[in-house]
């Protein structure tokens, strides 16, 4: 996995370095043109509850806050245009389990990794065979792309 930054990104206790073996990518269909982004990885994490535990040094107790269920997506803009919005679908068993939207300014060849809160039931329904696919992309210039073969609901 090629990294452009040495900064360690941690989301809900999952670092970029531990995400590597958990990556789930979607294979492109040979009969369709490639999407304007390349999904590098997609992983879900279930919600966690808040809990309190004693500090290891004997100090006061520590409370770890609850975290929402999340999908973490890493992708590269392979188009020649900056992207403004991407709608992703979380797919499990061939069916759409959840959708998320990434909004920003993603330059050509930008390597992006973002985490999105999702309903915990979507994480419970997904399996280790889940994947992420781009559904719709809007470019900064107003042009758009729509997945020609979106997953069923």
Can you give the residue ranges of every domain in the chain? 10-26+33-53+61-146
CATH tag, 10-26+33-53+61-146 = 2.60.40
Given a cut of 70, is residue 57 above it in pLDDT?
yes
Distances (CA, A) of 43 to 3, 63, 90, 92, 144: 18, 26, 9, 12, 26
Beta bridge partners of 124: none
Give CA–CA dist 15/11, Å, rounded: 7
DSSP state, residue 48: B
- What share of the chain has pLDDT > 90, as a percent? 58
Highest mean pLDDT: which of 45-49, 58-62, 85-89, 118-122? 85-89
Q: Is the pTM of this model over 0.85?
A: no
Q: Which residues, 6 or more positions from 38, have their beta carbon under 8 angstroms from its beta carbon?
A: 75, 76, 78
């Amino acid at each position: 996995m090629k990294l452009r930054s040495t900064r360690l990104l941690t989301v809900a206790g999952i670092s970029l370095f531990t995400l590597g073996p958990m990556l789930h990518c979607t294979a492109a269909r040979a009969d369709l043109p490639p999407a304007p982004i390349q999904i590098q990885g997609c992983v879900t994490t279930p919600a966690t509850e808040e809990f309190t535990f004693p500090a290891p040094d004997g100090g006061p107790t520590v409370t770890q806050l609850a975290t929402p269920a999340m999908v973490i997506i890493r992708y590269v803009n392979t188009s020649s245009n900056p992207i403004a919005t991407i709608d992703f679908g979380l797919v499990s068993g061939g069916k759409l389990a959840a959708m998320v939207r990434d909004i920003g300014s993603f330059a050509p060849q930008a390597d992006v990794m973002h985490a999105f809160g999702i309903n915990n039931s979507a994480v419970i329904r997904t399996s280790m065979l889940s994947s992420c696919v781009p559904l719709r992309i809007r470019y900064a210039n107003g042009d758009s792309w729509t997945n020609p073969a979106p997953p069923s609901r």
